[in-house]
Amino acid sequence: MRVDDASPVHRMLGGLGRFCARRPRTVLATWLLLAVTLVGAAAVLGRPVDNDVALPGSDAQQARDLLDRTGPGGGTGGQLVLRVDDGRLDDPARRDALARVTREVAEVRHVTGVDGVSAAAGTLSPDGRTGWVTVRLDVSPRQVDRAFARAVTDAAAPAGAAGIEVTPGGVLASAAERGGSRDSELVGLAVAALVLLLAFGGLVAAAVPLVTALITLACAVSAVGLAGHLVAVPSVAGTLATMVGLGVGIDYALFLVTRHRRLLAEGVPPAEAVARSVAGSGSAVVFAGGTVVVALGGLAVAGVPILGTLGWTTGLVVVVAVAGAVTLLPALLALLGHRIDRLRIRRRRPAPPPASGAGPDVDPDAGLVAGTDSRTGAGPDGDPGAGAGRATGWARQADRVTRRPWRWALLAVLLLGALAAPALGLRLGQVDAGDEPVGTAGRTSYDRLAAGFGPGVNGPLTVVAELTPPAGSGADPRVTGLTARVAGTAGVARVTPVRLADDGRTVALTAYPRTAPSDPATAALVRTLRTADVPGVAVHVGGATATRVDLADRVGARMPWVIALVVGLSTVLLYAAFRAPVVAVKAAVMNLVSIGAAYGVLTAVFAWGWGVGLTGLSGPVPVESYLPMMLFALLFGLSMDYEVFLLTAVQESWRATGDNRVAVREGLAGTGRVITSAALIMVTVFAGFVLQDDPVIKMFGLGMAVAVAVDATVVRGLLVPATMALLGRANWWRPGRRSRVGERLAGPSS
């Protein structure tokens, strides 16, 4: 069937593919110009990030807003952690060096003040060997970059000459290590190139998806970086965008190149092959990318700004990847023509003749998407040995599963249950600098402060109180009563002197817990302080640690709503694509299964510490509170990719034969190899990010790699075909009327 005879969606995409094939140089030049412009702008203007977590409506946010309005504290501040191996920091021989550090750091641009080491202020440890200098700034945290952090540490050079070790802390440490190692991206690209080379059997064909993915990734990541000038974008957003952009960019191109090369092998002219590939596999790419964007859009109901930002930045990368797959890639394929099969590393086997009946494109009644032609059995390089035509591994597996579906369904359930079981003990927490790999600036400053002052020094709590009527001075009984109440609370190590606003309406003090920021006891202390009973005083607790506690509470409360919205919208999209409610609901449930397995592995590795040393961390760390919700939205969308391609192939065969069991066998056999190749690429790209220093990035990388691996093997290879074989004709039931296939064909009920 030709593109022009297909549904409106296919005709539109076929027309787009034909346009790109006729004007390939114009399309390619447009993309290159866009990439150069965005990358150049990001290089000149920078990519500011802001890891500050705002949470409107929370108690921590109320405390922050009070401080911002009345001014008894607040503002951006960094730290320089000082340490000596012998003697004390306040020894006469070192006082001049410390005074010089204070003067020279104060002269750095954007530094508004420097608070030196002082025993009276509580910034000198009892043994005198550790202390910190507070550097107050007139810029926001997202404007603190590596150059500024380096300027501050360089200004502290006199301390080094006096035998004092200086380590940046706080926002200075984060800025000093920003834009770290690119090993993860290089590992992912290297493995992806190898998989593509083995899948396509040629250097040129393997290079095309990589080139497409890299150009679109450059555009998308640069756009995300530039967005940091307009809105608060956390540092994890750029890394997550790179991770997802590489994975989906290569995957989407792989599916299109697979169909294009098969059509060329069947004798279709290059320009027409491009158009038909974009109309067929391109429509599947658009649908798959759309489901990812819809799933990420579900984060809007979370009421958590950082999740909303991660959602739209990652969604932007997916949109650009889809756009590149249906425009840039067709232009490259048109320019290459038959040369795409140059530099082969093995001999091409002859392609089979086209099957009778409908061609490789989808029947107009088949819905919105098209996938691999299960009836020709063609694999990713047009090789009939990759499909159902020969008894390949996937064909044999398809036959085994459909002949004994109960056995394989039970095996899949047991495997998935074992992987997901640890998730029952998943408890959300917060990762702090103490969880970073040993040797990083953040970890070093954290450990030195904890050793000198106790673990709670790294998670100070800002206690803010509103006074009505205003207090005349710090001697007001309400102020002294608040100080005594906070200092006497179990779990508080010490408190700083109170700071009273000029109008007397707001008072603030800092309380240092006895426990580390990520310790559950610290979260309990936050809740206890908020219930402090001081007559005439409304108490709020803020600061980074308290904000993270509120974040975990809100994520836990909103998670069911996000799941319901994402699953509901995705089910509707699947129904629109396949017009089969049973298939749509089953697909949504299968995606939940693979996500559950990812949660289980994350819990076992990071929370329980099973093999955590292999990730580069020194011990168990809490699972970041917002990560499960973000992972759910992202993985639910990504898992839909393989579901769509498999179900499309199954539905094609069902419409041709009316035999559900045959359709399941042919669908799995015809798509198994290309889905395996695509999944292997995505798994290696994601797993490569475990090499990053940031524990949260490690969690994202491992969780996504596990989910995709489980989805492409146990779920797609065992559970989906087994359940479809068991359901029989019920898979294709439509409410209100009999299936037209059922009316035309009297195939077996299975």
pLDDT band of residue 184 (cuts 50, 70, 90) is: low
Q: Does the residue 22 lie in any domain?
A: yes
pLDDT at 112 over 80: yes
**Strands 428-429, 623-624: parallel, antiparallel or unpaired by DSSP?**
parallel
Q: What is the CATH number of the domain that holds 167?
A: 3.30.70.100
Assess whether 24 and 156 both reside in one domain: no
Whether 329 shows a pLDDT value over 90: the answer reads yes
Number of domains comprising the chain: 3
- 745: tokens are 């064909």
Query: Which residues have CB under 8 Å from 262's CB, separation 6+?
Result: 351, 360, 373, 376, 378, 381, 382
| 377 located within any domain | no
| End-to-end CA separation in angstroms for the chain | 28
CA separation, residue 564 to residues 303, 423, 458, 575, 589 (Å)? 15, 19, 37, 16, 12
Boundaries of domain holding 530: 461-542
> Does residue 380 fall inside a structural domain?
no
Judge if 305 and 269 occupy the same domain.
Answer: yes
User: Within a 10 A sphere around the Cβ of 458, how many other Cβ atoms?
Assistant: 24
Task: Give the lowest-confidence range in 165-174, 209-218, 696-705.
Answer: 165-174
Pair 154, 193 in one domain: no
- pLDDT at residue 381, as a whole number: 37
Do 229 and 136 share a structural domain? no
Do residues 387 and 396 make contact, with C-beta atoms less than 8 angstroms apart?
Answer: no
According to the model, what pLDDT value does residue 493 have? 92
**The two structure tokens encoding residue 125:** 């440890």
Q: Is residue 387 part of a domain?
A: no
pLDDT at 153 over 50: yes
Banded pLDDT at 358 (limits 50, 70, 90): very low
Same domain, 480 and 612: no
What is the C-alpha to C-alpha distance for residues 359 and 382, in angstroms, rounded to an integer? 15
Mean pLDDT highest for which of 213-227, 228-242, 249-263?
Answer: 213-227
* Model confidence at 717: pLDDT above 90: no
Residue where a domain terminates, one of 517, 542, 567: 542
Q: Please, what is the Cα angle at 360 between 358 and 365, to 5 degrees?
A: 55
Cβ(178)–Cβ(147) below 8 Å = no
Residue 200 domain flag: yes
Q: Mark whether 190 and 277 lie in a shared domain.
A: yes
Predicted local distance difference test score (pLDDT) of residue 5: 43
Least confident segment among 507-511, 565-569, 628-632: 565-569
Q: Give the domain CATH number at 471.
A: 3.30.70
pLDDT of 551-570, one tens digit each?
Answer: 888 888 888 888 888 888 88
Cα torsion 330, 334, 337, 341: sign: negative
Stronger pLDDT, 368 or 238, i.e. the higher one? 238
Residue 122 included in any domain: yes
Last-in-domain residue among 486, 515, 542 = 542
Judge whether 435 lies within some domain.
no
Together in a domain, 103 and 239: no
Q: Are residues 172 and 211 in the same domain?
A: no
Q: What is the CATH number of the domain that holds 272?
A: 1.20.1640.10
The pLDDT of residue 376 is above 70: no
Spatial distance between the Cα atoms of 517 and 524, rounded to a whole number of angstroms: 11
Lookup: tokens for 217: 């990734």
Mean pLDDT rounded to a whole number for the chain: 82
pLDDT in tens, 333-349: 999 888 888 777 654 44
Same domain, 420 and 277: yes
Residue 51: per-residue pLDDT: 72
Full DSSP string of 190-203: HHHHHHHHHHHSBH
pLDDT at 90: 84
pLDDT value, residue 383:
40
Does residue 467 lie in a domain region?
Answer: yes
Does the predicted TM-score (pTM) go above 0.85? Answer: no
**pLDDT score of 357 more than 80:** no
Q: Is 515 helix (H, G, I), strand (E, B) or coil?
A: coil
* Chain segment 513-523, per-residue pLDDT in tens: 999 998 889 99
What are 14-28's pLDDT values in tens digits?
A: 888 889 989 999 999
Is residue 75 over pLDDT 60? Answer: no
Give pLDDT tens digits for 264-323. 888 889 889 889 888 888 888 888 888 888 888 888 888 888 888 889 999 999 999 999
The residue assigned the tokens 């990847």 is 321
Residues 127, 276, single domain; the answer is no
Question: 3-state SS string over 457-505?
Answer: HHCCEEEEEEECCCCCCCCCHHHHHHHHHHHCCCCEEEECCCEECCCCC
- Residue 737 pLDDT: 52
Q: Which of 186-195, 470-479, 625-634 is most confident?
A: 625-634
Final residue in a domain of this structure, among 516, 542, 568: 542
Q: Which range has the worst mean pLDDT, 49-58, 211-220, 243-252, 351-360? A: 351-360
pLDDT given for residue 27 in this prediction: 94
pLDDT tens digits for range 528-538: 999 877 777 88
125 and 111 in one domain? Answer: yes
Q: Answer yes or no: do 708 and 639 share one domain.
A: yes
Query: Which range among 73-77, 284-288, 654-658, 686-690 shows the weakest confidence by mean pLDDT?
Result: 73-77
